[in-house]
Amino acid sequence: VWGCCLYDANCLSKTPSLSPHLTHGALSTVTDVHYYPNGADWGSDPTRDVSNSDPGKVLVLGEYGGILLVPEGHEWVTGLCHGYSTALNRDELADSFAADNAQLLAMLSSNQHPTLSAAVYTEITDVETECNGLLTYDRLYKADPLRIKESNDNLVAQASKLLQDLVDASSK
């Protein structure tokens, strides 16, 4: 889809959401970063450093998560699954998901990246040999859906409060 922006002067983003690093460009109005922590803090990988993002552009965390868990008998192609980090069981997957959401909330709370406007979890379901979904390709829950919902509800509530506080402060 992003390729059409090369020919459309009114397109909002001139950068592809297909690379694992920051995409900058003079024509772009969006900075897109993909981040898979592999157990590290989000700011510790220089290829994922958003501190130099242009404050005049919208910042999008175009992909985060990517946690591999392969329940036995639920692979598209046996032995070919991959992900960006690994969980050993469904509880560890839910813990990692919640930790990623907590890191995202900390990023929002720090207000170091005031143009951060979107974050996209990768991925909801496994797709062929990319087995880093919250569901398998045949739609088996890999983690307790109530724990995932609880983590998401907390993220949305806290982020909404941060936004409301900013709105309230700007109207004074």
**Residue 11: per-residue pLDDT:** 56
**Residue 25: per-residue pLDDT:** 54
Tens digit of each residue's pLDDT (9 = 90 or more) over 96-133: 999 999 988 888 888 777 778 888 998 899 999 999 99
**SS3 readout for the chain:** CHHHHHHCCCCCCCCCCCCCCCECCCCCCEEEEEECCCCCCHHHCHHHCCCCCCCCCEEEEEEEECEECCCCCCCCCCCCCECCEECCCHHHHHHHHHHHHHHHHHHHHHCCCCCEEEEEEECCECECCECCCCECCCCCECCCHHHHHHHHHHHHHHHHHHHHHHHHHHCC
**Residue 51: per-residue pLDDT:** 60
Evaluate if residue 149 carries a pLDDT over 70.
Answer: yes
Give, in degrees to the nearest 5, the angle at Cα 41 between 156 and 109. Answer: 35
Count CA atoms closer than 13 A to 74's CA, side-chain side: 20
Mean pLDDT of the chain: 79
The first and second tokens of residue 54, run together, are 């242009």
The residue with greater pLDDT, 56 or 75, is 75
The first and second tokens of residue 130, run together, are 């990319």
Tens digit of each residue's pLDDT (9 = 90 or more) over 58-99: 888 888 888 999 999 999 899 999 888 899 999 999 999 999
Confidence of residue 19 (pLDDT cuts 50, 70, 90): very low
In angstroms, the CA 116 to CA 107 distance is 9
**Residue 116: per-residue pLDDT:** 82
Sign, Cα dihedral of 39, 130, 30, 151: negative
Confidence of residue 2 (pLDDT cuts 50, 70, 90): very low
**Residue 33: per-residue pLDDT:** 77
